Amino acid sequence: MSWHTGRMPEPVTGPLAGLLVADFSRVLAGPYAAMTLGDLGADVIKVERPGAGDDTRSWGPPWVDGVATYYTALNRNKRSLTLDLSDPADRVLAVELAERADVLVENFRPGTLDRYGLGYEAVSANNPRLIYCSITGFGAATEEAADLSGYDLLVQAMSGLMSITGRPDGQPTKVGVAVVDHVTALQSTIGILAALDARHRTGLGQRVEVSLMGSALAALINQGSAHVGAGVVPGRMGNRHPSVAPYQTFPAADGWFVVACGNDGQFAKVAAAVGLPDLATDARFATNSARIANLDDLEAALVTAFSTGTVEHWIAALTAGGVPAGPINDIGQAFTDATRLGIAPVVTTEADGRLERTVRSPIGLSATPTSVRRNAPVLGEHDAELRTWLAAPR
């Protein structure tokens, strides 16, 4: 349980029940990290600008009952408190919230919150147990880094991610969602949870610093390692894989599907399934390294074979043979498949007669499960109760 007094209790049994999170962030990475903590049981107070709120409140379409679905995707399990940090009275309440919190999440430009008495050094002096998570675009090690704007598209471009996404003969392509923001949110959550665990041993909080650029570079995984370890500068390969084959999309007679063949044994099963067992013993294709070296020839042989059957036929044949293969779903089909497979990907909450459907947390905990207890809040929805609470003595 938290060390703070005057906490507004909630009937929560999640693993982070009793923790207070002050969410001073906006848009995606910070709000998603704070929402994840809320799903795990924390009491999250979202601090927003009066009259405007989080940028994503206006990021529509689509809208549901006048609320942008972009906003609801990132802000359930929170209470909204509007504070004008340029107003001295509101600034006092903001500092009070920070000094009562177990975790503070912010993604202002480096140095901004210091001007309001909300920087790490100032707040931690009065709240030494605070976990203070700062999310930036490019860190704060240099003036140039601190001045750069941290937008997902910009970082997808500057991190090299776009240079390896798309067809070789096409333009660099961004991923279809703000994947860098999402990865940064997850890295931030991991850092916060690690700091909380350290606090159990030391009694002290610490600062957690995560940048979009650093998160994007870490997310390059094998592509980044290929450069760091072997000096390779990867390029765009469409849906091919630089190190594994056949691991890509293929056209069947009526559409496209994927084959994710991860080893030589699985390739022998691919060859058998398409009626070309000799491919598995052909020197050009017998090993994964050989298949990569001769990928054009391999692809040509498989494209010809797959053209003789439907997507459904080939997925069934490959799956029966133990080869990972599947359809290329649209998002609606993806949710249908997930439901059929028992994943239950959607959660519905209701507040004041308004139903809100969001994507369920993928985290399963047997003893202390995640929960969705609140809709994403209306701007300033909890001002009265929270201002009263913060003005009261601790």
- What's phi and psi for 127, nearest 5 deg? -140, 75
- What's phi and psi for 70, nearest 5 deg? -60, -45
Pick the catalytic residue from 23, 65, 181, 330. Answer: 181
For residues 160 and 234, give the distance between their C-alpha atoms in angstroms, rounded to a whole number: 9
Furthest CA-CA distance within the chain:
80
For residues 322 and 266, give the distance between their C-alpha atoms in angstroms, rounded to a whole number: 7
| DSSP state for residue 43 in the 8-state scheme | E
Query: Is 297 marked active-site?
Result: no
For residues 231 and 223, give the distance between their C-alpha atoms in angstroms, rounded to a whole number: 11
Burial of 263 (0-12, 13-18, 19+ CB in 10 A): exposed
CA distances from 103 to 22, 42, 124, 286 (A): 6, 10, 11, 54
- What's phi and psi for 65, nearest 5 deg? 55, 40
Q: What residues are annotated to the active site?
A: 181
